[in-house]
Copies of this chain bind each other. A is one copy, B any other.
Amino acid sequence: MIAETPKPPYYAVIFTSTRTEVVENYKEMNEAIEEAVKDADGFLGVEACREEVGISVSYWKDLESIRKWKNNPLHSLAKEKGKSAWFATFKTRIAKVEMDYDFL
């Protein structure tokens, strides 16, 4: 669903990836991460889908919240496994949301 974010400014972490054929533990880790991030300081919401490419956009109060989540042990483990097993290519972009519109 579309994340209900507050009035800008806030931050977006745009994570784009393509998968390998390795499926072991991927779904389980995804679910664990989805649960854990809900309790992260400054987490505002997330939107995600996957076809040829997967996109996950998570929204955050500020850069400090993103830094703290970056160092979360479960998230660190997920990134390590992601690099070594699950993702063929990926890119992370950190962006400051300046404006948003329900209609543009």
Asked whether A48 and B53 contact (CB < 8 A) given A97-B93, A101-B91, A102-B90, the answer is: yes
Count of interface residues, chain A, beta-carbon cutoff 8 Å: 39
Question: Which B residues touch A18, using CB under 8 A?
Answer: 1-2
Question: Is residue A22 contacting chain B, with contact meaning CB distance below 8 A?
Answer: no
Further contacts, 10 of them, CB under 8 A, given A14-B97, A90-B102: A3-B16, A12-B14, A14-B57, A47-B55, A49-B49, A49-B52, A49-B54, A49-B55, A57-B57, A94-B98
Interface positions of A (Cβ within 8 A of B): 1-3, 5, 8, 12, 14, 16-18, 47-55, 57, 70, 79, 83, 89-104
